[in-house]
Structure 1
Amino acid sequence: MSQPTSIGRRVVITGCGVVSSIGIGVREFTSALRAGRSNVRPISVFDTTGFAHDNGCEVADFEPARWIRTLDPGDLGRASRFSTAAARLAVEDSGLPLETLRAARTLVSVGSTDGEAHELDGLVARELSAGLAGLDPKLVRRTSAGRLATSIARELELTDVETGTIATACSAGNYAIGNSLDAIRCGDAEFALCGGADALCRKTFTSFYRLRSIAPDCCRPFDRNRMGILTGEGAGILLLESLDSALARGARIYAEVLGYGMSCDAHHPVAPHQAGIARCMELALADAGVKPAEIDLISAHGTGTKANDMTESAAIRDLFGPKPPRTVSMKSMLGHSMGAASALAAIGCSIALTEQFIPPTINHRDTDPDCPVDCVPNESVDADLDIVQNNGWAFGGNNAVVLLGRYERQPREEAVR
Structure 2
Amino acid sequence: MKRVVITGAGTINALGHSVDDTLEAMREGRCGIGKLEFRDVERLAIQIGGQVRGFEAEGRFNRQQMTLYDRFTQFTLFAAQEAISQSGIEFVGDDAARSGVVLGTAGGGVSTWDDNYRSVYEDGKNRVHPFVVPKLMNNAAASHVSMEYNLKGPSFTVSTACASSNHAMALAFDMVRRGMAPAMITGGAESMLCFGGVKAWEGLRVMSKDACRPFSANRNGMVQGEGAGIFVFEEYEHARARGAEILCEVVGQAMSSDAADIVMPSKQGAARAMSGALKDAGISGDSIGYINAHGTGTAANDKTECAAVADVFGPHADCLKISSTKSMHGHLIGGTGAVELLACIMAVRDGVLAPTIGYEEADPECALDVIPNEAQEVKVDYALSNAFAFGGLNAVLAVRRV
Instruction: Select the residue among 374, 377, 380 that pairs with 2:375.
Output: 380
Distance 2:374 2:135 in 1: 40
Aligned partners of 2:213 and 2:327 also within 8 Å = yes
Q: What is the letter of the counterpart of residue 309 of structure 1?
A: D
Matched-pair contact (CA < 8 Å) for 1:231–1:336: yes
Residue 255 of structure 2 corresponds to residue 255 of structure 1: no
Hey, what does 1:182 align to over in structure 2? Answer: 174
Alignment check: 8 A CA contact 2:291 2:321 kept: yes
Q: For structure 1, which segment, 8-17 or 361-370, has the greater mean C-alpha deviation from structure 2 after superposition? A: 361-370
SS of the aligned residue for 2:250 comes to strand
| Matched positions, count | 399
Deviation at 1:49, TM superposition (A): 3.1
Alignment of 1:327 onto 2:315: no
Amino acid at match of 2:249: E
2:186 to 182, 185, 194: 194
Q: Which residue of 2 aligns with 1:4?
A: none
Q: 1:210 aligns with which of 192, 195, 203?
A: 203
Aligned counterpart, 2:342: 347
Please show how residues 212-361 of structure 1 align to structure 2 within 5 Å: 212-324=205-317, 325-361=320-356
**Range that drifts further, 308-317 or 57-66:** 57-66
1:362 corresponds in structure 2 to 357
2:99 aligned with 1:106: yes
State percent identity of aligned pairs.
Answer: 36
Specify the SS of the correspondent of 2:10: strand
2:43 matched to which residue of 1? 50
Listed one character per residue, the Cα deviations across residues 37-71 of structure 1 (whole Å, up to 9, x for unaligned) are 11222222342233233101111111346766897
Q: CA RMSD in A?
A: 1.9
Deviation at 1:82, TM superposition (A): 0.9
Distance 1:69 1:177 in 2: 30
- Are 1:88 and 1:156, in contact at CA under 8 Å, matched by a contact in 2? no
Cα distance in 2, alignment partners of residues 242 and 323 from structure 1: 32
Question: Which residue does 1:415 correspond to in 2?
Answer: none
Q: Which residue of 78, 81, 85 maps to 2:74? A: 81
1:144 aligns with 2:169: no
User: 8 Å contact 1:176–1:194 — kept in the other structure?
Assistant: yes
- For 1:61, the equivalent position in structure 2 comes to 54
**SS class of match (1:187):** coil
User: Counterpart of 2:336 in 1: which secondary structure?
Assistant: helix
C-alpha spacing 1:64/1:94, structure 2 compared with 1 (3 Å): farther
**Matches of 1:208 and 1:22 in 2, distance apart?**
22
Q: Does the Cα contact within 8 Å between 1:69 and 1:155 map onto a contact in 2?
A: no
Amino acid at match of 1:293: D
Distance change in 2, residues 1:198/1:320 (3 Å): same
Verify the 8 A CA contact 2:346 2:353 in the aligned structure 1.
no
Contact preservation (8 Å) 2:327, 2:356: yes
- Consecutive unaligned residues of structure 1, counting only runs of 5 or more, are 1-7, 408-417
Aligned residue type for 1:216: K
Q: Do 1:238 and 1:347's aligned partners in 2 also have CA atoms closer than 8 Å? A: no
TM-score (norm 1): 0.91
**Distance in 1, Cα, partners of 2:392 & 2:270:** 8
> Counterpart of 2:164?
172
- Kept in 1: contact 2:134–2:140 (CA 8 A): no
Where in structure 2 are there 5+ consecutive unaligned residues?
none
**Contact 1:67–1:88 (8 Å) recurs in 2:** no
SS of 2:154's partner is strand
Shift of 1:85: 1.4
